[in-house]
């Protein structure tokens, strides 16, 4: 399998359509961390008419809550968390312009329908490799909800961040494809 290098600044809707479930990617650019508590607050605030804490249109959210940073490091271990906990919030964010979600694990049918409806991507990062992923993070700054601690929204600048397309913009689910292929 080939690995595709992608600058998030250049990831157009047309380019997203060329990516298929199972493609391996190396992402470079800006992504934002947000876990359960941040998603809950963003969506509750949005329902009250309060803007998202950053312009989510065309952006990528990484479901991660970094460990504390050691002196001299940019960030602590920064592995993905289980994406299913964000399933109730993801369709609202996708319908309002979010383009990429990065996490681990399968998504429910409502999220997959929102991915298809909006031409988005769900990418997987390898769980258990948080220390290695941290090496791809070149800068990190808290952007919003610092009262949430590790669940604050953090703006990350990443270089060659490894991930796999788990659900492409057409709704093809890599988990289902692999299960069928290997008769699991």
> Which residue's entry shows tokens 């990528």?
60
Return the closest-CA partner of residue 38 out of 53, 51, 59, 49: 53
pTM over 0.85? The answer is yes
User: What's the pLDDT at 1?
Assistant: 59
How much is the average pLDDT of 81-107? 97
Is residue 11 within 8 A of residue 102, CB to CB? The reply is no
* DSSP, residue by residue, 72-124: T-S-S---B-BGGGGTTTHHHHHHTT--EEEEBS---HHHHHHHHHHT-EEEE
What percent of the chain stands above pLDDT 70? 99
Tokens at 94, concatenated = 């996708």
Q: Could you tell me if 2 and 144 are in contact, meaning their C-beta atoms sit under 8 angstroms apart?
A: no
pLDDT, one tens digit per residue, over 25-47 is 999 999 999 999 999 999 999 99
Residues 122 and 99 sit within 8 Å (Cβ to Cβ): no
Q: Rounded distance, CA 119 to CA 112, Å? A: 10
State pLDDT tens for residues 43-69: 999 999 999 999 999 999 999 989 888
Q: What's the CA gap between 98 and 17, in Å, rounded?
A: 15
The whole-angstrom separation of Cα 158 and Cα 162 is: 10
Per-residue pLDDT reduced to its tens digit, 108-121: 999 999 999 999 99
Distance CA 39, CA 43 (A): 6
Residue 19, classed as helix, strand or coil, is: coil
How far apart (Å, rounded) are the C-alpha atoms in residues 171 and 96? 18
The secondary structure element, H or E, covering residue 30 is strand 24-33
């Amino acid at each position: 399998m080939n690995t595709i290098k992608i600058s998030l600044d250049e990831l157009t809707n047309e380019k997203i359509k060329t990516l298929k479930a199972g493609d391996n990617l190396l992402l470079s650019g800006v992504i934002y961390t947000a876990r359960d508590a941040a998603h809950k607050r963003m969506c509750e605030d949005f329902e009250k008419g309060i803007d998202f804490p950053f312009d989510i249109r065309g952006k990528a959210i990484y479901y991660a809550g970094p460990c504390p940073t050691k002196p001299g490091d940019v960030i602590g271990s920064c592995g993905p968390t289980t994406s299913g906990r964000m399933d109730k919030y993801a369709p609202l964010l996708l319908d309002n312009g979010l383009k990429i979600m990065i996490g681990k694990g399968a998504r429910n049918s409502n999220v997959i329908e929102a991915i298809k409806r909006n031409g988005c991507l769900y990418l997987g990062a390898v769980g258990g490799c948080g220390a290695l992923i941290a090496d791809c993070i070149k800068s990190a700054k808290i952007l919003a909800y610092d009262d949430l601690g590790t669940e604050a929204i953090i703006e990350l600048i990443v270089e060659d961040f490894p991930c796999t397309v788990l659900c492409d913009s057409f709704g093809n689910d890599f988990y289902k494809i692999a299960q069928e292929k290997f008769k699991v």
